[in-house]
A and B are shown apart, each in its own frame.
Chain A
Amino acid sequence: MFLAVFSTKGNDEVSPDATLMQQLLRKDVSAFEELYERHSRIVYSLVLRILRQGSTAEEVVQDVFLQLWRNSSRYDTSRPFVPWLLTLARNRALDHLRLKSERQRRREDQTEEFPQIASAAPEYEKALDEGRRAERVRALIGSLPAAQKKAIELAYFEGLSHSEIAAALNEPLGTVKSWIRHGLMRLKEGLQATS
C-alpha cells in the first residue's frame, strides 16, 4: 500500500513533508523528488478519478507539483501538508473539468491559487497512519447506501452543487442535502471512533 509511507505526527512536531517544503525554498531538487515520490500516487489517483483521462490528469499533476516547486514559500509549514496538497490538486482538477464543460459557477470563490486548509488537523487524525485512515475512509463511505455514496462522490469528484446532484439523481433537494451532511458526519464519527 503506497500510502503506508506516511507516518502519524503530532501537531507540535515538524513533519517530514514540512521539512522537505522548507528545503524547496533553497531550490533543493532532491527534496522535490522525495516529495514527488511520497505523494505523486495519491495526487494522481485523485486527479485521474476526477478527470478520467490519463494524459489530462498527468498535465494537472505536473501543474500541481510545479506550483509546489515555484511557490513553496506560500505553504505554511504549521499546517498539515497532505490535506493541503490534496485540496490544491482537487481544486486544480475541478477547474480543468469546469473549463472543459463550461460550467462557470459556484466554486469561483473557493479556487484560490493556494487553498485554505485546517491550520491544525483534528486530534483524531493522530489515531491512524495515512494508509490505515485511507482504508477506514473507504470502508466508512462504502458502508453508506449507494445513492448517498453517489451524492458525496458527485460533490467531491465532479464538483456538483446540491441542486445539480438532486437533478442528476432525480431526488428531492432536501434529501440530497441531508445525505451529504449525514454522510460526512458519519465519516467524522467513524474516524473519531478509532481515536
Chain B
Amino acid sequence: MNSHDQFRELIEAYALGSLDSADRALIEAHLASGCAECAKALEEARWLVSQLAYLAPNAKPSDMLKGRLLQTVRAEAAGPVRQETVRGGIPWWLWLGVAALLLFSVYSAWNEQHLRSTVANLQQQAEAQRIERQKLEEQLRVAKLQAHEAMIWMDPKSVKIMLPPKDPKMPQLEAMWHPELGLCVRGWKVPSPGDNRVLQLWLIPKAGGKPMPSVTFWPDASGTFSAMVENPPDAMSATQALAITEEPIGGSSQPTSAPMWVGGVS
C-alpha cells in the first residue's frame, strides 16, 4: 500500500468527523497539498455521510415551532421601508449642474464600492459577534443549570431519594428533591438504552393515580447522566415514589415498559 492509499483510507472517517487529531492533521496536510483524487473522494464521502441522517427515527416538530419561526421571519421581511425618490428630467438651463452631477456620479461610484466593502466587513463582524453571543448564551444557560443542580444537591431542605435497580447488575441511582428548587436525578455507569430509546422519569402519586411523565434523558458514553425537573408536576408530599423506565425516543405519556429503578419518597 502506498502513502496515497493510506490517505485515501482516511477520507470517509474525515468526512464523518471521527478521526483523532493525529490522523486528521495527516489528511488535512495531504488535502492541502492539492491531491485532486482525494479532494473528489472527500466530496463524495461528505454526501455519503449526510445520508446517515436517515437513520434517525421519524419525528415531527411542534406546530408552535413553525409559528415562532414564521412570526420572526415575517417581522424581519417587513423591515424598514425604503423611500424611493422619483426624479424628474433635468432642465436644459441646468447643464452646468448636470456636469457637476456627472462628476459627482463618478465619485459616488467609487465611494459606493468603498462603502460596499465596508458594509460587507461590518456584516461579517456582526455575524461573527452573533455566533459568539449564541455560544456565550448557551454556556451561560449550561452554567446556570449546573449551579441550580448544585444548589439542589447541597441545600439542607432537599430530601435524598435512593433508586435501587430492579436488576442487581445495574447501578443504583440517586435523586434529590427540593421543595422550591425542583428535583434532580443522577447516576453513573448506567448502560445506554437500546437503539432509539431513552430513559424517562415518572412521579407515582400517593392517591393511586396514573404515573406522571417527567423528563427524558440519556447517559453519555461513560454512563453518566444528570437530569433536572425544575417544576415537578406534583408536590413532594403528594408523591409516593419515583420510577425510571426505558421509553421510545421523545418519551411516552404513560409507561410502556417495566420500571428499571424505583425509589420511595419519604
Name A residues whose Cβ lies closer than 8 Å to a Cβ of B: 2-3, 27-29, 32-33, 36, 40-42, 44-46, 48-49, 52-54, 57-58, 61-63, 65-66, 69-71, 80, 82-84, 86-87, 89-90, 94, 96, 99-101, 105-107, 109-110, 113, 116-122, 125, 133-134, 137-138, 141, 152-165, 167-168, 177, 180-181, 184-185, 187-188, 191
Q: Which residue of B lies closest to A49 (CB)?
A: B56
* Closest 10 pairs between A and B when the two form their complex, measured CB to CB: A49-B56, A83-B50, A134-B54, A155-B18, A118-B43, A168-B221, A118-B47, A44-B61, A45-B56, A86-B53
Does A109 lie within 8 Å of B28, measured CB to CB? yes
Give which listed residue, A58, A99, A156, contacts B52 with CB less than 8 A.
A156
Q: By the criterion of a CB under 8 Å from any partner CB, how many residues of chain B are at the interface?
A: 62
Question: Considering the chains assembled together, what is the distance between the CA atoms of A71 and B131 in angstroms?
Answer: 13
Question: Considering the chains assembled together, what is the distance between the CA atoms of A165 and B12 in angstroms?
Answer: 16
Known A44-B61, A141-B52, A162-B23; further 10 A-B contacts with Cβ < 8 A: A29-B73, A44-B59, A106-B19, A106-B20, A153-B195, A160-B18, A162-B13, A162-B19, A167-B221, A180-B16
Does B58 lie within 8 Å of A45, measured CB to CB? yes
B170-178, B180-188, B212-220 - interface stretch: B212-220
Give which listed residue, A61, A157, A159, A181, contacts B9 with CB less than 8 A.
A181
Chain A residue numbers with a CB within 8 Å of B257 are none
Whether A161 contacts B216 in the complex (CB less than 8 A), given A46-B56, A52-B198, A121-B47, comes out as no
What are 9 sample pairs from A and B whose C-beta atoms fall under 8 A apart?
A32-B70, A33-B70, A36-B66, A61-B61, A70-B76, A90-B53, A106-B21, A118-B44, A184-B45
B249 within 8 A of partner (CB): yes
Chain B nearest CB: distance from A37 CB in Å? 8
B115 within 8 A of partner (CB): no
B134-142, B158-166, B237-245 - interface stretch: B134-142
Contacts between chains A and B (CB distance < 8 A), count: 188
Question: Considering the chains assembled together, what is the distance between the CA atoms of A80 and B23 in angstroms?
Answer: 28
Chain B nearest CB: distance from A95 CB in Å? 8
B87 within 8 A of partner (CB): no
Chain A nearest CB: distance from B135 CB in Å? 7
Question: Considering the chains assembled together, what is the distance between the CA atoms of A45 and B70 in angstroms?
Answer: 20
Chain A residue numbers with a CB within 8 Å of B52 are 137, 141, 152, 156, 187
Chain B residue numbers with a CB within 8 Å of A187 are 48, 51-52
Question: Considering the chains assembled together, what is the distance between the CA atoms of A53 and B225 in angstroms?
Answer: 13
B82 within 8 A of partner (CB): no
